[in-house]
Amino acid sequence: MLSHNKEHLLRQREDTVTREDISVLKNDWLTDNVISFWEEYLEREYLTNYKHSHIVLLRPTMSFMLMQTPDPRTIKDALPDFTNVTHIFLPINDNHSASIAEGGTHWSLLLVSIVDGVAFHYDSMPPGNQNEAHYVTQKFSRLINRPLRFIQLTDSPLQDNSSDCGVFVCLNMRHLLLKRLLMVRTDAKVSMSLGGRRVDASAGRKEMLRIIEEFRREGERRRSISNSPHPGRKSKSPPRIDSPNTRAKSNEPMN
């Protein structure tokens, strides 16, 4: 049974969701963990189906490291290889102190198109993180040794409270990935504007909670199978009589 907030509820290949993350996802400001989980979910459920795509969903910790490091080339080995990458999604946070875990008060989304030499910034509470996103763009330009033009998209969907910014980042990221980058011909010209798009943050929170719960149940099922003394082996014992007494004593599955 879970005993405290930091108990791991769900662990994927890289990203861990805790009880605290579940709590904030219901109606509060999203944590790094939740956004990281969402990025891995998009990678596993969608990006893996597009073998020829070269798109990177950079984790919030990596985006923060990029913003905090004076010379981004010094952390090149800690970042993905961007040699053949066409687009990078970066969650941007306004935390300026490396000593404050889960700091900051606002999330926004930066989409870098290396092939076009452009960085698009989507902010649900403008001007919001415009300066931070511009700064990260400059750092990234230096990292890949290519010029990048920064564009603040002023027609991005707007939140109507102070806590939905992370949800907007997650939902806009999925929309841009699936509807703008993966679902069109490679030679097509795509508008990256989200003007006129409506974001239902409440429904988004419920969907993300449902997805996490589905993964948690699947994880429990797999752990149950792996912890079985003889996973996958069929019993060679004769069938037992189906009665309450023998059912309680028997460890054999009923057929």
For every residue of 153-196, DSSP letters joined together read: -TT----SSSS-HHHHHHHHHHHIIIIIIISS-TTS------TT
pLDDT at 104: 85
Any idea of the CA torsion for 50, 136, 142, 187, to the nearest 10 degrees?
30
**pLDDT tens, 189-214?**
889 999 999 999 999 999 999 999 99
Among residues 15, 21, 32, 123, which one is catalytic?
123
How many CB atoms neighbour CB 112 within 10 A?
27
Active-site residue among 106, 121, 164, 170? 106
Tokens of 107: 């999330």
The whole-number pLDDT of residue 247 equals: 45
Residue-range domain boundaries for the chain? 8-218
Cβ-based neighbours of 69, under 8 Å, separated by 6 or more: 75, 139
For residue 16 the two structure tokens come to: 């861990």
Is the pLDDT score of 244 beyond 80?
no
CA separation for the pair 105, 107 (Å, rounded): 7
| Cβ proximity of 42 and 74 under 8 Å | no
Most confident of 10-19, 94-103, 150-159: 150-159
- pLDDT for 215 equals 85
Active site residue 175: no
CATH fold for domain 8-218:
Adenoviral Proteinase; Chain (3.40.395)
Q: Quickly tell me which residue has 């990234």 as its tokens.
A: 140
Mean pLDDT within 159-183: 96
User: Strand, helix or coil at 24?
Assistant: helix
Average pLDDT over residues 124-149: 97
What pTM did the predictor assign?
A: 0.81
How would residue 154 be classed by pLDDT, with cut points 50, 70 and 90? very high
pLDDT reading at 237 higher than 80: no
160 catalytic? Reply is no
Q: How confident is the model at residue 99 (pLDDT cuts 50, 70, 90)?
A: low
Of these residues, 15, 21, 32, 165, which one is catalytic?
165
For the question of residue 165 being annotated catalytic, the response is yes
Q: Once rounded to an integer, what is the mean pLDDT over residues 8-23?
A: 67
In this predicted structure, the answer to whether residue 179 has a pLDDT above a threshold of 90 is yes
pLDDT average, residue stretch 221-250? 55
Whether the bond between 127 and the residue before it is cis, its omega within 30 degrees of 0, is yes
pLDDT tens readout for residues 55-80: 999 999 999 999 999 999 999 999 99
Question: Which range among 39-43, 140-144, 183-187 shows the weakest confidence by mean pLDDT?
Answer: 183-187
More confident residue, 129 or 239: 129
